[in-house]
């Protein structure tokens, strides 16, 4: 009997190793398909037009043309577009996460009659397509003289990201212990002090998650900027690349360099902070 059980355990262990091996092989294949386009784009950005059209698309550049990056950064206004993307993304993310935290705290920690209705109105925002709101928003910003102004982009990013941000924060807020806040009330803390000094520090993991998600969306967004902004001095990197491609239509190496520049910041941020996304989303279930 003992020998039979040992054989069964040995067979299960063998099948487990086989299953894990197959899983790792599948993940490696998927990773190759995900990473290879980035490597190909980088090599493409170092080629001349003669190499792009004369050699195999998979060939390495014979003489890497690093000057493609210098040219697009200095002559193509990519530095201005890059700076606009950075500060607009940062301001929008801070505003979105802070306002979403206000709303979530009010809904989950305070008792008032219309909290469920307000939550429902925010969740309706998840079902509003961006394209259906472009014309009303354009008319609204036109009346406020905000067309071709970065504030129109910041307000649009904040409004459309609030529902998803609130939904992510809700799951975490519902699991927070109320005993700490009740003790603070007994000690005479105001609502503002409870939020900023107690609740907000406890929600740091999920705030990091929402900040990363918002950052990725804002950095890659194209429609709002293309619709509301016409001056080059306010354009972000996504729309600026479109103009640059039109300017250097035949310089394919320069076009590749602009695409690499647009990918690098968000790729680095995601690689460094990707674990926080999983931690923040799973934090509610773990704490519960």
Cβ atoms of residues 43 and 64 within 8 Å:
no
Predicted TM-score of the model (pTM): 0.81
- In 167-282, beta strands by DSSP E: none
Verify that 13 and 102 share a domain, yes or no.
no
Average pLDDT, the chain: 83
Angle formed at CA 148 by CA 238 and CA 235, multiple of 5 degrees: 20
pLDDT of residue 286: 46
Verify that 38 and 79 share a domain, yes or no.
no
Q: Is the pLDDT of residue 288 over 60?
A: no
Percent of the residues in the chain that have a pLDDT greater than 90, as a whole number: 24
How many other β-carbons are positioned within 10 Å of the β-carbon of residue 66? 11
Residue 171 lies in a domain: yes
Take residue 208 and report the two structure tokens written for it: 């990091």
* Lowest pLDDT segment from 53-62, 195-204, 254-263: 53-62
Residue 113 lies in a domain: yes
SS3 33: helix
Report how many domains make up the chain: 2
Verify that 123 and 237 share a domain, yes or no.
yes
- DSSP letter at 125 equals G
Verify that 85 and 23 share a domain, yes or no.
no
pLDDT tens digits for range 156-187: 999 999 999 999 898 888 888 878 777 887 87
Residue 272 lies in a domain: yes
Verify that 273 and 159 share a domain, yes or no.
yes
Cβ atoms of residues 145 and 221 within 8 Å:
no
pLDDT tens digits for range 212-242: 889 989 998 999 999 999 888 899 988 877 7
CA–CA separation, 47 and 43 (whole Å): 7
Q: What are the Cα distances from residue 202, in Å, to 45, 93, 97, 171?
A: 44, 19, 14, 13
Cβ atoms of residues 189 and 265 within 8 Å:
no
pLDDT tens digits for range 70-79: 888 887 778 8
Verify that 169 and 115 share a domain, yes or no.
yes
pLDDT tens digits for range 90-142: 999 999 999 999 999 989 888 888 888 888 888 888 888 888 889 999 999 99
SS3 227: helix
Q: Which domain holds residue 107?
A: 74-287
């Amino acid at each position: 009997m003992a020998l039979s059980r040992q054989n069964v355990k040995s067979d299960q262990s063998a099948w487990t190793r086989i299953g894990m091996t197959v899983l790792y092989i599948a993940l490696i294949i998927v990773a190759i398909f995900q990473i290879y386009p980035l490597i190909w784009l980088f090599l493409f950005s170092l080629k001349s037009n003669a190499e792009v059209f004369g050699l195999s698309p998979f060939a390495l550049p014979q003489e890497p043309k690093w000057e493609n990056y210098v040219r697009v950064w200095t002559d193509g206004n990519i530095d201005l577009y890059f700076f606009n993307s950075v500060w607009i993304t940062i301001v929008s993310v801070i505003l979105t996460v802070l306002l979403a935290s206000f709303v979530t705290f009010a809904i989950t920690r305070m008792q008032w009659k219309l909290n469920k209705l307000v939550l429902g109105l925010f969740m309706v925002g998840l079902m509003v397509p961006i394209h259906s709101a472009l014309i009303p928003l354009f008319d609204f910003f036109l009346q406020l003289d905000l067309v071709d102004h970065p504030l129109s982009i910041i307000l649009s990013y904040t409004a459309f990201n609030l529902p998803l941000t609130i939904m992510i924060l809700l799951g975490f807020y519902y699991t927070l212990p109320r005993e700490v806040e009740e003790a603070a009330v007994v000690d005479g803390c105001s609502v503002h002090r409870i939020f900023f000094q107690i609740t907000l520090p406890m929600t740091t993991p999920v705030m990091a998650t929402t900040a990363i998600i918002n950052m990725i969306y804002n950095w890659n967004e194209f429609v709002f900027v293309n619709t509301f902004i016409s001056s080059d001095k306010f354009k972000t990197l996504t729309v600026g690349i479109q103009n640059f491609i039109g300017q250097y239509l035949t310089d394919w190496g320069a076009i590749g360099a602009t695409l690499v520049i647009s990918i690098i910041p968000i790729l680095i941020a995601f690689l460094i902070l990707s674990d926080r996304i999983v931690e923040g989303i799973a934090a509610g279930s773990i704490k519960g």
